[in-house]
A = this chain, B = another copy of it.
Amino acid sequence: MAKTNKKNRDPRWIYRFDQLKKVEKHCPTWDDVKALLGGKGANLAEMTRIGLPVPPGFIVTTEACRAYLASSAFPDGLWSQEQEALADLEEATGKRFGDPANPLLVSCRSGAKFSMPGMMDTVLNLGLNDETAAGLAKLTSDERCAWDAYRRLVQMFGRVVMGVADEPFEAVLRDARARRGVTNDADLPADDLREITRAFRTIVQRESGREFPLDPRAQLRQATEAVFRSWQGKRAQDYRKAAGIPDDLGTAVNIVAMVFGNLGNDSATGVATTRNVSTGEDQLEGDYLINAQGEDVVAGTRAVKPIAQLRSEMPAAYEELARIAALLERHYRDVQDIEFTVERSKLWMLQTRDAKRTARAAVRIAVDLANAERITREEALLRVTPDHVDFFLHPQFDPAAIKRARAEGRQIATGLNVSPGAAVGMLVFDADRAEQQARAKQAVVMIRAETKPDDVHGMLAAKGILTSRGGRTSHAALVARQFGKPAVVGIFAMEVDAEARVVTIRRPAGAPLKLAEGDWVSLDGTTGEVFAGKVDTMQPSVDDPHLIELLGWADSVRRLGVWANADYPRDAIRARELGAEGIGLCRTEHMFFEAERLPLVQRLILATTTTERDEMLAKLLPMQRADFDGLFRAMGGKPVTIRLIDPPLHEFLPRHDDVAREVTVLETRLSLHDGDATALGRELATKQALKTAIESLREENPMLGLRGVRLGIHMPELVKMQVRAIFEAACACQRDGVEVHPKIMIPLIAHTNELRLEQTMLEEVARQVMDAAGQHVEYAFGTMIEIPRAAITADQIAEDAQFFSFGTNDLTQTTFGISRDDAETGFLTEYLKKGILAENPFATLDERGVGKLMGIAIELGRKTRPDLDIGICGEHGGDPRSIDLCHRLGLDYVSCSPFRIPVARLAAAHAALRHGGKRPKKEKRRKAAKA
């Protein structure tokens, strides 16, 4: 794509903001433009084109960055092109780079195709040195501002370009503030700042072994390189991994003439979003500071003012800003996140981009824009991600528990409610520990004074985030919103001592409260409250009217059915409320684990006589019947898929290790004559018998052992009882006028003969029950496809099975030869970290492997039986990317846990929008097959 520069034969590496037309000549789409110029640069150029007040500047392309990273050197022609562009900039501004008389200052900012806020580097105020600083002071009549700009350059350049840590700089500032008795850097006088600048240069020299470059062109060149390099920084890489951004894009570099919001009280700087990005309400929101530079707003070191105040403080600038905001939202057809500076009453636009937003805001904005006919409903659907919907399903605090917590005085602080949802966890004070404890399955809340990009991995691992500083647009707030982590920031009553791992909370009355690492806290990102200890969370509610409207649109678009995995009537009821169109998986064995049933199940398994076994089955029958009765009534008329017992029997018995230990203890005591030999002997005999029984069921690889249909064949009485219970319940419901559609699912089929044998036996039971009841129930028998052999012999299996349901948990295990239980805490983590697997195949379907087997099974199955119903009931059924694959494979429905149903509804709609709903309906397939 690189164009050859006319003057020499090097590729073209640079475009000015006013050269968008040239770019578009070889970038046919806006996406291509962003890929070349980065999002920030592309938008600056676009704003320039539509006549908005953007300071002059130019963009070093992502191609230049990639060329640099490939060779670790400036590509041929880049530096000369950069100097030419600088000359253009001098001409446009009438200032000269390095000229003390009228110095041009520029910023050097990263800007990749996809926004990665704060993840890469920026250097402001390039062009300053002792001479130009003095010149600037004279020119602006603002010595303080000039020296403040200079010291910021040295500090920022030192950190970004020369790798000097912040701490020594901050120490100098701290001392200076202490000497002057001020709390804010802005209150330091010019002389102090001059001294500080000198001290900063000494620090740079001492820490990096190199001088701070006084030559502005050297500054520019080195800053450009540093921005290039920051693409490869660890935090940028971590972010990309988390956000799914490819690693090979590179960043563009924006060189922009500096404008100053800190030239006095007629200057200001701020950020705003064109709508409220927490709630989605249609009003301009943001923060600004008078007499400040942009970074001050983001850093949250000074208390910012809400944007509404600007209207009274600078009416003209506000009106202009509001006009531009509205224009940008219409222009980009989405809510914008803008940065601006007012320099001596003149408004400059420094950035615009699609605003990040909370899930709630995303839904509302999408629905509002569609209803206002600014976008289509399809676009609205695509603007909301499945994760956004998921967010509505996040736990919220139980109102009663909150009331109680407040009454108990456990509400210990409040802050800014920047990312909604409730979180409960143990405090941790750094990102590494947060990650580590989360891996150990502990719920943690990460607490920091403020977060930096280095903290992202910890934030992702935590249940929630607390910071004592920062505002709504702080790093912590942005990241939390993006990843749906509940967060409260700017809790000024808190003092975080990360070293001592203690937070001290000042309270209106009484002594300060101290919490240490490991203490439990609860936070409500929706209200901004923080509580000591655990506060109960409650089941999510999805009664948001915008969400309901959006999901209705989704339902009218999607082709995939959305069913639920539900074991109990209460789950079934919830699933229906959330939109389930059937039950795709009822795991009957879950019912066996209930307290009053487990002893019966254990006696059944250990029974040595048929009489005892029959007795236990007779006791279990009415319980199972009641279960199914409840399910049928809850789903009234919708299909209910019931899987017969699946897990190996030993799962219902005490753990072997425990019993073996008890036996050994008894044996040892007996041999040491500790206690009554007769009593011990009796006890030993009992335990020994239990141990022997458990051992007879013990397997090397239970996952691949006696379970599923194998169990049904080995011990037919149990599954016969289950089928009897199903049909007795179905007949009873039908008698009561409740429509029933039981689908009986036989798990773990590897060979068609297993299914045939089992199904024949069970259909006989079904017939007996229906005959006895004088009822006919419409039922179907089918199977899980969860073993590779079942997939590749699906044509044979479909001779008997009337439906297939992909059990993708097991299918993934067997297709990969990976035991999930072992791997997810072991080598699979290592594989994901090393990039051997791009993602966990137990979370997202492995399209290439498991997906291919599914495709084979579907093709073969429908060849035998064109009207074969095919669904999925593995956990993947609730994963959006897996749902996309299921759509493409032509499944009839996905089945997932009730709380994933709204997510699945949207994801299914996305799939239909992306790939078209071209799957022929079953009726068509049937006809096509007949033709």
Contact = CB atoms under 8 A, between A and B. Distances in A.
Interface residues on A, range: 35 or more
A792 interface: yes
Interface in A263-295: none
A748 B703 CA distance: 18
Interface in A818-866: 818-819, 821-823, 826-827, 830-831, 834-837, 846, 848-850, 852-853
A447 to B, nearest CB: 32
Contact of A818 (B660, B704, B792, B846): B704
Contact of A700 (B751, B816, B819): B819
Contacts of A836: 713, 751, 753-754, 757
B788 A853 contact: yes
A804 to B, nearest CB: 16
Contacts of A849: 750-751, 788-789, 792-793
A315 interface: no
A499 interface: no
Contacts of A823: 704-706
Most chain B beta carbons < 10 A, residue from A668, A788, A831: A788
A788 B810 contact: no
Given A672-B674, A827-B713, A836-B751, A822 B700 contact: yes
A914 interface: no
Contacts of A661: 660, 664
A699 interface: yes
A793 B848 contact: yes
A526 B700 CA distance: 42
A669 interface: yes
A789 B846 contact: yes
Interface in A667-714: 668-669, 672, 674, 699-706, 710, 713-714
A753 B849 CA distance: 13
Could you tell me the dominant secondary structure of chain A's interface residues?
helix
Interface string A762-793: 00000000000000000000000011110011
Contact of A837 (B668, B753, B792, B846): B753
A823 B713 CA distance: 14
Interface in A648-667: 657, 660-661, 664-665
B822 A706 contact: yes
A753 B788 CA distance: 21
A333 to B, nearest CB: 40
Contacts of A813: 704
Contacts of A701: 700-704, 819, 821-822
Contact of A815 (B699, B786, B789): B789
A818 B669 contact: no
A793 B817 CA distance: 14
Interface in A787-812: 787-789, 792-793, 796, 810
Contact of A672 (B672, B796, B827): B672
Contacts of A700: 701-703, 819, 821-822
A205 to B, nearest CB: 39
A716 to B, nearest CB: 11
A202 interface: no
Nearest to A850: B789
A48 interface: no
Nearest to A705: B822
A814 interface: yes
Interface string A219-247: 00000000000000000000000000000
Contacts of A713: 827, 830-831, 834, 836
Contacts of A810: 817
Nearest to A836: B753
Contacts of A817: 703-704, 748, 750, 786-789, 810, 814
Nearest to A828: B710
A830 B754 CA distance: 12
Given A701-B701, A793-B849, A827 B788 contact: no
Nearest to A758: B836
A849 to B, nearest CB: 4
Contacts of A816: 750-751, 787, 789
A753 B841 CA distance: 14
Contacts of A830: 713-714
Contacts of A852: 792-793
Contacts of A669: 668, 672
A480 B621 CA distance: 52
A699 B664 contact: no
Contacts of A850: 789
Nearest to A662: B664
A463 to B, nearest CB: 28
Contacts of A674: 672
Contact of A664 (B664, B750, B789, B831): B664
Contacts of A705: 819, 822-823, 826
Nearest to A700: B821
Most chain B beta carbons < 10 A, residue from A706, A786, A837: A706
B706 A703 contact: no
A822 B753 contact: no
B788 A815 contact: yes
A700 to B, nearest CB: 4
Most chain B beta carbons < 10 A, residue from A757, A818, A834: A818
Given A701-B819, A793-B849, A751 B668 contact: no
Contact of A660 (B657, B704, B788): B657
A800 to B, nearest CB: 13
A665 B846 CA distance: 47
B702 A703 contact: no
B789 A704 contact: no
A826 B714 CA distance: 10
A390 to B, nearest CB: 28
Nearest to A787: B817
A748 B818 CA distance: 10
A665 B668 CA distance: 6
Contacts of A703: 700-701, 704, 817, 819
A750 B827 CA distance: 13
Given A669-B668, A819-B701, A836-B751, A714 B827 contact: yes
Contacts of A793: 848-849, 852
Nearest to A796: B848
A814 B837 contact: no
A701 B648 CA distance: 13
Contact of A710 (B664, B699, B757, B827): B827
Contacts of A822: 699-702, 704-706
Contacts of A750: 815-818, 849
A852 B789 CA distance: 9
A659 to B, nearest CB: 11
A754 B814 CA distance: 17
Nearest to A835: B753
A508 B206 CA distance: 109
A72 to B, nearest CB: 23
Contacts of A846: 789
Contacts of A753: 835-837
A753 B838 CA distance: 10
A813 B846 CA distance: 21
Interface string A478-508: 0000000000000000000000000000000
Nearest to A851: B792
Given A665-B668, A704-B819, A714-B827, 12 more contacts: A664-B665, A700-B701, A700-B822, A701-B701, A702-B822, A704-B813, A705-B823, A713-B830, A751-B849, A753-B837, A757-B836, A787-B816
3 tightest Cβ-Cβ pairs between the two chains A and B: A701-B819, A704-B819, A789-B849
Interface of A: 657, 660-661, 664-665, 668-669, 672, 674, 699-706, 710, 713-714, 748, 750-751, 753-754, 757, 786-789, 792-793, 796, 810, 813-819, 821-823, 826-827, 830-831, 834-837, 846, 848-850, 852-853
17 contacts: A657-B660, A660-B660, A700-B703, A703-B704, A704-B817, A705-B826, A706-B823, A748-B817, A751-B816, A751-B849, A753-B837, A754-B836, A788-B788, A789-B817, A789-B849, A793-B852, A796-B848
